[in-house]
Amino acid sequence: MELILVNIIDGLVTGLLLFMLSAGLTLIFSMMGVLNFAHASFYMLGAYFAYQISIALGFWMGLLIAPLIVGVLGAGVERYGLRRVHQYGHVPELIFTFGLALLIEELVQFIWGKNQMPYNVPEVLNFTAFSIAGNSIPAFKIFMIFISIGIFIGLLYILTKTRVGMIIQAALSYPRTVEALGHNVPLIFMGVFGVGTALAGVAGVIAGPVLGTFPGMAFVLGSIVFVTIVIGGLGSLWGALVASLLIGWMTTFAKSYNIRMSDILNGIGISTPENLDDNIFRDFWTVTSPQIADILPYILMVLILIFRPAGLFGKRES
Amino acid sequence: MTDQITTDPSKPAQRMRAGSMSLTVGPWIVAAVALMLMPYIFTSNSALTIMNQMWITVVFALAYNMLLGQGGMLSFGHAVYAGVGGFACMHIMNNSDLFASFPLPVLPIFGGLFGMGLAMIVGAFSTRSAGTVFAMISLGVGELIAACSVIIVAFFGGEEGVSGDRTYAMPFFGNEFLQQIDVYYLTSFWVLLSAILMYLWSRTPVGRMANAVRDNPERAEFLGYSARWVRFYSFVASGFFAGVAGGLFAINYEILTEENLNTASSGVILLVTFLGGVGFFFGPIIGAIVFTLVQTVLSLQTELWAFYAGSLFLATVMFFPGGLAGLMMMHVPVFRLGKMKMLLLPYAKTLIPAAIGILGLCCLVEMTFHYRHAATGDHEMTLFWTTFDSHTLMPWIIAAAITAVGLGIAKMTAPALKEAWDEANTAGGTS
Amino acid sequence: MKKLTKLGAVSALSLIIGATSAFAENIKIAFIDPLSGPFASTGTNGLHQFEFAADYLVNQKGGVLGGTNFEVIGFDNKISPKESLIQLQVAIDQGVRYIVQGNSSGVANALTEAVEKHNKRNPDSRVLFLNYAAVDPALTNEKCNFWHFRFDANADLKMDAITDSIVANPDVSKVYLIGQDYSFGKAVAAAANRFLGEKSDTIEIVGDELHPIGKVKDFTPYSRKIVASGANAVITGNWGADMLGLGKSIIENGFEGPIYTYYAAGSGITAAFGESGKGTIRLVGEGKVNPSPSQEVSDYYNAFLAKHPDGNLDQTRIANTIGMLARAIEEAGTADDVVAVASALEGMEYETMFGGKILMRASDHQAIQDLHIFEHTDEDIAFPYDGSTFGVKVINTIEMAGADSPTTCEMKRP
Amino acid sequence: MSTPALELTGLKKSFGKAEIIRGIDLSIGKSERHAIIGPNGAGKSTLFNLITARFPATEGTVKLHGEDLAGLQPFQINRKGLSRSFQITNIFPKMTVFENVRCALLWAQGYKYSFWNLVNKSRRLNEGADAILDQINLLPRRDLPAGMLSYAEQRALEIGITIAGGADVIMLDEPTAGMSHSETDYITDLILKVTEGKTLIMVEHDMGVVFGLADRISVLVYGEIIATNTPELVRADPKVQEAYLGAALEEEH
């Protein structure tokens, strides 16, 4: 029973981290129609910048400054790169972000080298917050939860309660009309892109110490972020939240409990073949849930796309 | 994202005219002769190996462009069709009785059939719509199959993959394909055959309708064609040729591993195709040749090859969305007008300094890299046959000066080039 | 970076260059490992160690065969079997007769088969494959061949040493096995099960599981299970980011027993573990540096550090590889006839400066040597890794580990 | 009159709570030229989309030559001999004018999804396409990308694509929308020429075109047909006068 609670907390941390990435991406996606492949790269930049700043000024300044730099970089990419490619259509835009992701990875290696960076949890938060049946919950994880929830509430407030948010929401659906009303839509696009990438930067700052700061960190997270927003429904902030948490919990529980494929199949009445070693499906029979935990989201995505292409909370058929 | 992943028709910047070329035999004969003669120019085994790799990439990229360029379907997991075709070929190779019953050059057909089979299964549900849904399903399926490669060891062989020996096939007119040169001709035969077949495909009714569905699926439906089935046929055909590429891979390397399936390979083929240009049939061929050279030859020269490749790619997307082929085809009207001469001098004035400037920039990048990452005490580095000390100021000044002067001149002469370009593109005029 | 950077060479031109530079005075050794991409740090560090070993142990001592030098050339295989085979061909065309490779058993498998086929089909340009780190047992068992020599202990031998150490440790009664879901991870788990079963009746294996390789973002759920299982020792074959992620997560979640690993040192991992891994992280390997066994080793290491201050001399077998190759060439009296060199390597007994001797077993071309269990610590560390204060210290030694281990290899000699 | 070419019974369509088409019964005979007119927002285009299965109907049936079209996809309906154009130009902009027409001929000439025929090699196909280009006077533009044609030419091409397949029921959605007078005359002549002997159903705003072309006219107001009759009688119908023509005529005078 206690383990379930622990797993819920762990899944929450994973899910909320995913949410910080997918929130920005889903906004960018619905606004510009672009699958921003470089989104996770901005997450990586956040971690590296924060590491560099933390050496000189400490973790907290890193948390403050790194996302700003990332946001400015993101806005710059929109202004001088994407906007230019936008005129050619969606595929070139998408491929642009794809190439950008590769280039950022190369740049990071160029500047920081190829090794893991010793970017660590700050001393203040390096203790056990509490324990549940012998399982310690590090304080940093609690900190991560609070930061992510804070950001979600902030985003929700800005998008639904402020004038800027209203304009953004309108610009998402009716860019021409909003432009005709005298608002600078390209500026809004640039701003949203900047804020979206800054959010990814925040995620990088707080995930770097826990998940490791290395040149492959963007790749590990890259496609799963798309999966999240596709499952949640493009452009839906709530969808992104629900899908993130769903994926967080799904993978955590799948890893925590050893569910065997043979148990499931036996459960539905298919008996295990006698000579498993000679059977061509032997590998299939011996699959366990931790083995496939991290590919479960892809299975879920394919199923959702087949049966409900708009995603869980999507309003439109894409 | 709109339903259809193609460019907006009202924007003339990108004109896809894959369909507007007429069928001529000339280029194919030139290609065949070139393929025959290449081994006499580049005789070493490594050159043959690299060329084989190039031709395999050509087949794969052309197959990919059947989807992206001609069908308007963006796939993030196309490597799995080539990979599964290749794995199937390896298993056939390892089944000695079956393998000994036919000559080696037949093997790629089996690769194609298996790639096609998988494409039929996946296509059955993924081609219902194009656009984001198709792209994301391809990503998901690609990830799933790539993940299977380490889980389902019986077929994919786990990490070390599946290996075999091509020489156990039935001798083909006494040839057992022991040497690279034999394999080269086998590969060349297949690349030519596949390219011709894929070109002819684009001239068939279903190939033409693939273009129509790409441009306007709804209109195609009101002409009696189901957009879904048109996509399905393109997808299956693309899967077949991807499988052929996989079969050629199996013959060349005699081993298939997880890397033949993973998303990185799928991403590479997207880059290759786009770099070459999706709007023209021959675009992917150029892309495959350029990329293979960058990956295999440039990587022998510098560790930063991926950095340069990435920059080249990004520059292409930003400035020449038609890819290298588009860049070439831009000159066709000028050529037709007989005004190519007018461009030569302005080109020389701008592009040569620009090239020098860019090379200077590369020198600065290499020197920075050397300064930061080389062994302590190893101050010596060689660039362009010049050996110098990277820790002294002089080389930096020289490189910076070359860069500044080169790019400066290019910037100065660029307006003149633009003028000449506009002039050359106008019919009539002075010449 | 000794590799000449000739950016300007037009690509087509270098195809020809590749073909014509086949003659050489130096004995060329092709180092085919990742020099770009995610595993580049390990590869680059290995290349530095090879270059240094060739320079320090051979060239500065007058070379072999009366003055011929070793030249190590790096070939970037991007850890891809396909690229490795292309680079192998390029290397052979450049007149290379000795191939060294170590990262990824998948690449090693591809290379050993390609080398065997090449040597069969091209008797004029035969090459030897000197494997310095790929530990898949199959390479010296069912997949062995005359051209492949392994200078590292294979995964089974290493597991033999780990389990010896575990059985000797009275604090350990419950062991948890976790690894990456691919051939090596599975081989480690199988070997651990086998050896623990043979060696002890009291030690219980409380967990045995695999996780997807390179895909896990957060290892917390796995560590929870490990802690909850009551295990007091963990064995893992993880490497790279998976090693660091797993190790950090296990320690963070309150595990206090030893974690036995294969690859938890160097390449930034030692620095990243830092204080948190002290006393917990153990690893198995050959070659003693801390404490330094001799002045010779100290000199060697210091000379290396003078060249690469941030580098690690974490693969002492590289020095052994170079040393043994040099002796075999001297004994054979030629560097061109690789059959003679291979015959000289077979059964060679070599005194290594890192202590003890190495026997290149003729029956399977597996090097038999002393194996150590190291501990991650910052005490008594003369030669730390990653520019940190931490390094690995020998706490346990098994002499000539696995000298009597069986092999299924049926060596076919030309 | 035997089986009508097109027969609608009790056709209804709602979007959410808004009922756009409120029960339409209409029968159009073979070779009849039938126009549907009505004020903006009357549901004319929606009606077209219902007939061609672009939208599913909420209620009611559509019969083509006596055959129920329920559950059929647009491409299946097309194969049964019903072809339509669109209010917003809907062509293949990146293909040449010739290719546009040739694509429209493929299914009708029985090529289906074949990949063993080469389109360049079929004389029937290429000559057929050229013949249609000739009919719609676009032969000089044959090899231009369709997207580069002028608006009127694109509308002509749209009609060309629509009739190319040889369907016997042709539906045109505002073929002259947004055109100048001379262009309108040109298109009207074109329509007369290419729909010779076929059933034509068209939505149109331009009364000149409607009264010049149509054998019968239906007036659609708020999702209901208030009158169906010959042009003269429709013109005289007081209900129509009131609902539609009255306002329009007043404006003219």
| CATH number where D177 lies | 3.40.50.300
- DSSP 8-class letter at C64: B
Domain count of the fold of chain D? 1
Q: Indicate whether B319 and B382 sit together in one domain.
A: no
Is a pLDDT exceeding 50 seen at residue C2? no
What is the longest distance spanned by two Cα atoms in chain A?
A: 74
* Domain presence at residue B122: yes
Is a pLDDT exceeding 70 seen at residue C22? no
Strands D18-28, C128-131: pairing kind = unpaired
Is a pLDDT exceeding 70 seen at residue C192? yes
Distance CA C251, CA C164 (A): 24
Judge: A99–B310 Cβ closer than 8 Å, yes or no: yes
Is a pLDDT exceeding 90 seen at residue D123? no
Q: Indicate whether B373 and B408 sit together in one domain.
A: yes
Judge: A95–B270 Cβ closer than 8 Å, yes or no: yes
Q: B with C: how many residue pairs have Cβ under 8 Å apart? A: 172
**Residue range C297-311: average pLDDT?**
86
CA distances (Å), origin B363, targets B38, B119, B396: 32, 46, 9
Residue with token string 């262009």: D183
Tokens of A15: 């899910």
Q: Do chains D and A touch (3 or more CB pairs under 8 A)?
A: no
Q: Where are the alpha helices (DSSP H) in C1-104?
A: 11-20, 40-53, 81-93
Domain count of the fold of chain B? 2
Q: Indicate whether B356 and B287 sit together in one domain.
A: no
pLDDT top residue among C115 and B373: C115
- In this complex, the residue of A216, A219, A256 whose CB is nearest that of residue C221 is A256
Contact by Cβ (8 Å): A219, C38: yes
Please name which of A13, A40, A15 lies closest in space to residue A25, comparing C-alpha atoms: A40
Neighbours of D140 (CB within 10 A): 9
DSSP string, A230-267: HHH-TT-HHHHHHHHHHHHHHHHHHHHS--BHHHHHHH
Neighbours of B56 (CB within 10 A): 27
Query: Would you tell me the crossing angle of helices C105-121 and C183-199 to the nearest 10 degrees?
Result: 110
- DSSP 8-class letter at B12: T
Contact by Cβ (8 Å): B383, B363: yes
* Domain presence at residue B166: yes
**Residue range C243-253: average pLDDT?**
86
Contact by Cβ (8 Å): B120, B233: no
Please name which of C218, C252, C220, C275 lies closest in space to residue A128, comparing C-alpha atoms: C252
* Domain presence at residue D1: no
- DSSP 8-class letter at B311: H
Beta bridge partners of D229: D217
The 3-state DSSP composition of chain A as helix, strand, coil percent (nearest 5) reads 75, 5, 20
* Domain presence at residue D12: yes
C27-33: strand order across its sheet:
C70-76, C27-33, C98-101, C128-131, C148-150
Q: Indicate whether B218 and B283 sit together in one domain.
A: yes
pLDDT top residue among B244 and D39: B244
Contacts of A225 (CB under 8 A, 6+ apart): A18, A21, A22, A25, A39, A40
Distance CA A222, CA B143 (A): 12
Q: Indicate whether B319 and B407 sit together in one domain.
A: no
Distance CA A21, CA A45 (A): 13
Judge: D75–B16 Cβ closer than 8 Å, yes or no: no
Q: Indicate whether B80 and B221 sit together in one domain.
A: yes
Residue D110: the pLDDT is 82
Strands C371-377, C391-398: pairing kind = antiparallel
Tokens of C295: 């002045």
Measured between beta carbons, the chain D residues lying within 8 angstroms of B221 are 73-75, 78
Sort B210 into a burial class: Cβ within 10 Å, 0-12 / 13-18 / 19+: buried
Output phi, psi for D115, to 5 deg: -125, 20
Tokens of D198: 């076929």
Residue B376: the pLDDT is 58
Chains that touch B (3 or more CB pairs under 8 A): A, C, D
Q: Indicate whether B355 and B314 sit together in one domain.
A: no
Percentage, residues of chain A above pLDDT 90: 20
Judge: B263–A223 Cβ closer than 8 Å, yes or no: yes
Contact by Cβ (8 Å): C114, C73: no
Is A279 an 8 Å CB contact of chain C? Answer: no
Q: What is the CA angle D192-D198-D201, rounded to 5?
A: 75
Q: Indicate whether B7 and B71 sit together in one domain.
A: yes
Gap from B134 CA to chain D (nearest CA, Å): 21
Residue with token string 């070493």: B44
Q: Give me the residues of chain B with pLDDT under 70, please.
A: 1-23, 374-379, 427-431
Distance CA D106, CA D118 (A): 11
Residue C412: the pLDDT is 87
> Last residue of a domain, which of B329, B350, B376?
B329
* Domain presence at residue B101: yes
- In this complex, the residue of B23, B218, B224 whose CB is nearest that of residue D120 is B23
Nearest-CA residue of chain A relative to C39? A114
Interfacial residues of C (vs A; Cβ cutoff 8 Å): 38, 40-41, 44, 181, 209-212, 214-218, 220-222, 224-225, 227-228, 241, 244-245, 248, 252-254, 267-269, 271-272, 274, 386, 388
Is C96 an 8 Å CB contact of chain B? Answer: no
Please name which of C6, C85, C76, C86 lies closest in space to residue C37, comparing C-alpha atoms: C76
Is a pLDDT exceeding 70 seen at residue C330? yes
Percentage, residues of chain C above pLDDT 90: 29
Q: pLDDT tens digits, residue range C381-395? A: 888 888 788 888 888
Gap from C250 CA to chain A (nearest CA, Å): 11
* Mutation target among C220, C263, C378 for the A interface, most CBs of A within 10 A: C220
Q: What is the CA angle C282-A128-C262, rounded to 5?
A: 15
Q: Indicate whether B388 and B296 sit together in one domain.
A: no
Is a pLDDT exceeding 70 seen at residue D161? yes
pLDDT in tens, chain A (318 residues): 677 888 888 889 889 989 988 988 888 887 777 778 899 999 999 999 999 999 888 889 989 999 999 999 999 999 988 888 888 877 788 888 888 988 898 889 888 877 778 888 888 887 777 877 777 788 888 899 999 899 889 888 888 888 888 887 777 677 777 777 877 888 888 888 999 999 999 999 998 888 878 888 888 787 788 889 889 888 788 889 999 999 999 988 888 887 877 778 787 777 777 766 666 677 777 778 877 887 888 889 889 888 888 888 876 543
- In this complex, the residue of A10, A210, A221 whose CB is nearest that of residue C221 is A10
Contacts of A295 (CB under 8 A, 6+ apart): B143, B144, B147, C212, C215
Which of A84-88, B379-383, C242-246, D57-61 shows the lowest mean pLDDT across its residues?
Answer: B379-383
Contact by Cβ (8 Å): B92, B247: no
Judge: D114–B19 Cβ closer than 8 Å, yes or no: no
> Last residue of a domain, which of B289, B304, B329?
B329
- What's the Rg (C-alpha) of chain C? 21
Measured between beta carbons, the chain D residues lying within 8 angstroms of B207 are 115
Measured between beta carbons, the chain B residues lying within 8 angstroms of C122 are 179
> Is residue C259 very low, low, confident or very high in pLDDT (cuts 50, 70, 90)?
very high
Q: How many helices (H) and strands (E) are present in chain D, helices listed first?
A: 10, 10
Judge: B139–A287 Cβ closer than 8 Å, yes or no: no
Residues of the domain holding D178: 6-252
Contact by Cβ (8 Å): B130, B231: yes
Q: Where are the alpha helices (DSSP H) in C131-182?
A: 155-168
Q: Whole-prediction pTM value?
A: 0.85
Sort A176 into a burial class: Cβ within 10 Å, 0-12 / 13-18 / 19+: exposed
What is the longest distance spanned by two Cα atoms in chain D?
A: 62
Q: pLDDT tens digits, residue range B89-108? A: 999 999 888 888 889 999 99
Tokens of C102: 């170590």
Gap from B240 CA to chain D (nearest CA, Å): 14
Residue type, A2: E
Judge: C78–B299 Cβ closer than 8 Å, yes or no: yes
- DSSP 8-class letter at C58: I
pLDDT top residue among C52 and A266: C52
- What's the Rg (C-alpha) of chain B? 24
Q: Indicate whether B357 and B321 sit together in one domain.
A: no
Tokens of C247: 């190790």
> Last residue of a domain, which of B329, B362, B396?
B329
Residue A39: the pLDDT is 92
Q: What is the CA angle B176-C128-B178, rounded to 5?
A: 5
Contact by Cβ (8 Å): A264, A287: no
Q: A with B: how many residue pairs have Cβ under 8 Å apart? A: 132
Q: Indicate whether B237 and B371 sit together in one domain.
A: no
Tokens of C266: 């160097």
**Residue range C265-283: average pLDDT?**
84
Residues of the domain holding B238: 2-329
Contact by Cβ (8 Å): D134, D165: no
- What's the Rg (C-alpha) of chain D? 19
Please name which of C301, C260, C283, C294 lies closest in space to residue C384, comparing C-alpha atoms: C301
Q: How many helices (H) and strands (E) are present in chain A, helices listed first?
A: 15, 2
Nearest-CA residue of chain B relative to A81? B318
Distance CA C342, CA C362 (A): 10
Residue B427: the pLDDT is 67
* Domain presence at residue B356: yes
Contact by Cβ (8 Å): B49, C91: no
Query: Would you tell me the crossing angle of helices A185-211 and A2-32 to the nearest 10 degrees?
Result: 150
Is a pLDDT exceeding 90 seen at residue C345? yes
- In this complex, the residue of A114, A220, A253 whose CB is nearest that of residue C215 is A220
Judge: C8–B359 Cβ closer than 8 Å, yes or no: yes
Is A212 an 8 Å CB contact of chain C? Answer: yes
Please name which of B27, B77, B56 lies closest in space to residue B235, comparing C-alpha atoms: B77
Q: How many CA atoms lie less than 13 Å away from D207 in the CB half-sphere?
A: 13
Residue with token string 């088969």: C113
Tokens of A100: 């950008």
Q: Is C259 helix (H, G, I), strand (E, B) or coil?
A: strand
- Read off the CATH number of the domain in which B187 is found: 1.10.3470
* Mutation target among A36, A41, A80, A102 for the B interface, most CBs of B within 10 A: A102
Nearest-CA residue of chain A relative to B3? A318
- In this complex, the residue of B208, B229, B237 whose CB is nearest that of residue D103 is B208
Residue with token string 């295999």: B296
- DSSP 8-class letter at B212: H
Output phi, psi for A309, to 5 deg: -60, -20
Q: Is the peptide bond prior to B333 cis by the omega test (within 30 degrees of 0)?
A: no
